[in-house]
Amino acid sequence: MRLDRFLWWARLAPTRKVAQAMAEAGTLRLDGRRIDRAHAAVRPGAIIAYARHGKVRVLRVAALPRRRGPPAEAASLYEDLQPGSANPVDAPRARE
């Protein structure tokens, strides 16, 4: 599966165009290799690392999606490898 499509379907990027821009900017790493093209192949078990909104995320691809489903389904497609970081889908919202 294409990297940009995975990022979009796994809800790691809000649109496919943003996912393509992330890949083409050269800030993504796939299994330790710097990626500069949106059509890089993603497979289960692959490690994706990227910086977004001032934070670095490191994820392991658990499964490839069949569709762009709801956030809970999208969160099951990857596991966060950073200790202490909570999945934003599962994290309780702070009250202000």
pLDDT > 90: percent of the chain: 75
**Separation between Cα atoms, residue 47 and residue 69, nearest integer Å:** 22
Choose among 83, 85, 82, 79: nearest CA to 44.
Answer: 79
Residue 60: which residues within 8 A CB-CB, separation 6 or more? Answer: 45, 46, 47, 48, 78, 79, 81
Read off the pTM: 0.80
- Model pLDDT for residues 22-68, shown as the tens digit of each residue: 999 988 999 999 999 999 999 999 999 998 788 899 999 999 999 99
**Separation between Cα atoms, residue 62 and residue 29, nearest integer Å:** 17
Hey, where are the domains in the chain?
3-80
Pick the CATH number of 3-80 from 3.10.290.10, 2.60.120.40, 3.40.190.10, 3.10.20.30: 3.10.290.10
